[in-house]
Amino acid sequence: MDLTYTPEQEAFRKEARAWLEANVPAEPLPSFDIKEGFEAHCEWEKKLNAGGFAMVPWPVEYGGRGADLLEWLIFEEEYYRAGAPGRVNQNGIFLLGPTIMEYGTPEQRTRFLPRIASSEEVWAQGWSEPNAGSDMANIQTMAIRDGDDYVINGQKTWASRGAYAHWLFGLFRTDPESSRHKGLTFILARLDTPGITVRPIEKINGKRAFAEVFFDDARVPVANQLGKEGEGWSVAMATAGFERGLMLRSPARFQNTARKLVSLYRETVAAGGFVDGAVRDTVARCWMDAEAYALNTYQTVSKLMAGAKIGAEASLNKIFWSELDILMHETALNLLDVRAELLPGSPAAGDVGDWLDGYIFALAGPIYAGTNEIQRNIIAERLLGLPRK
């Protein structure tokens, strides 16, 4: 155990910092949940990719720089330090990309990975259906083979970024006789395929953050299946592992929020705002938890680099960061007092930052990527050995 960076790691940090300082837009981009913001974020991703920083741990041939996971963490730290835009293609870069790397054919890697890195193709997820939420094995959308195509019928929902994305990945039932986890296949589908209709859904702040996707005899080439036919569940579990375990929410995100919370606390104290011991204690707690999350991630990365795999431990992560995110935003809104409800730009709002928007986003955390209740079941059953039934 040695918690100091090597000179090479420090040099990498400097390089990333210099590039980001020179290139990050001075003004924050509009939300990627609106059309204009989505496009601005795609432009930013192109720039990031041209600089070689879109996905640093990927091999060079796919648009990465072959960095190790520690360097990825360092990059993420610098990314949040620089206040760089959110990753509009997070489904592609953090979830699908690693899955293609593990399960894709050489052709699929060459076809998809560089376009994910450049965000020329932005991805939505297609897991949930109206009757398959937490019970994902109840997926009913059928993809029936017909020659070199699958003919897909059914409906996916809650597809984040689905309103503007170009592609969707998800699980489809390719064996109509099958049930539960069997007979499912991981398929990649262009969202402009004839027979696919995307209907955006507004989230509670009115922005089109997600969508439902209807399939009506939509034909998708069999070549777009990822992994083997009928083995989609295990491919999807790998994707979910990346999502919950490491990539989706890197620690710098929460450390940065904790830092902003500490600043807000200090400003509130300086301005004579209401602060009591309980608020003070909670701010300290938030700081500690953000640290714990960062340290835990470094532990995980150290283990991965030594050849270990992440298993059900990923579920611990997902619960921890999603609940921490809510706590930090709630505490900030407490500190903002009456201004907490004012939208940015409202005359009396002053500098309310993006705490309200962040809070609304944080509230989704315990729901997406598998509800926290499902994560708790996984922990109990797979880490603590409790019976399923």
Partner 1 sequence: MDFDFSEDQRLLQETVKDFLEGECTAEYVRGLWDTQTGRSPEFWAKLAEIGVPGLMVPEQAGGLGMDERDLVLVLEETGRYALAEPVIGTVAVAVPLLVGLAESGERKLAESWLGRIAAGEAIVAVGHDRSPLVSDAHIADLLLLPHGDEIHAVDPGEVGLTAQRSNDQSRRLFAVDWAPSDRTRVASGQAGRKLVDAAFDRGVLACAAQQLGVGCQLIDMGALYATQRKQFGVAIGSFQAVKHRLANAKVQVEYARSLVYRAAHSVARALPTRAVDVSMAKAAAGEAATSAGKESLQVHGAIGYTYEQDLHVWMKRAWSLDLSYGTGAWHRARVADAVLDGRLPAESFGFVPPGA
150: CB partners within 8 A, 6+ apart? 143, 144, 172, 174, 185, 187, 219, 220, 221, 222, 225
Residues annotated catalytic, as ranges? 243
Binders of partner 1 in range 235-274 (CB under 8 A): 251-252, 255-256, 258-259, 262, 265-266
Does the footprint of partner 1 cover residue 338 (CB under 8 A)? Answer: no
Residue 231 per-residue DSSP state:
B
Structure tokens at 306: 């030594």
From residue 369 to residue 388, what is the string marking binding to partner 1 with x (rule CB under 8 A)? ----x-xxx-xxx-xxxxxx
One-letter amino acid of 252: A
Nearest distance, CB of residue 357 and partner 1, angstroms: 20
* # residues contacting partner 1 (CB under 8 A): 63
Residue 276 per-residue DSSP state:
-
Q: Which is nearer to partner 1, 142 or 275 (CB)?
A: 275
From residue 75 to residue 104, what is the string marking binding to partner 1 with x (rule CB under 8 A)? --x--xxxx---------------------
Does the footprint of partner 1 cover residue 14 (CB under 8 A)? Answer: no
On the 0-12 / 13-18 / 19+ scale of CB atoms within 10 A, 219 is: middle
Structure tokens at 94: 């953090």
From residue 298 to residue 327, what is the string marking binding to partner 1 with x (rule CB under 8 A)? xx-xxx--x------x--x--xx-------
Does the footprint of partner 1 cover residue 207 (CB under 8 A)? Answer: no
**Which among 314, 293, 168, 294 has a CA at the least distance from the CA of 237?**
314
| Cβ(54)–Cβ(117) below 8 Å | yes
Q: Give the DSSP per-residue string, 107-166.
A: HHHHHHHHHHHTTSS-EEEE--BTTBSS-GGG---EEEEETTEEEEEEEEEEEETTTT-S
Q: Which is nearer to partner 1, 220 or 294 (CB)?
A: 294
Q: Which residues bind partner 1 (CB under 8 A)?
A: 1-6, 9, 70, 73-74, 77, 80-83, 251-252, 255-256, 258-259, 262, 265-266, 280-281, 283-285, 287-296, 298-299, 301-303, 306, 313, 316, 319-320, 373, 375-377, 379-381, 383-389
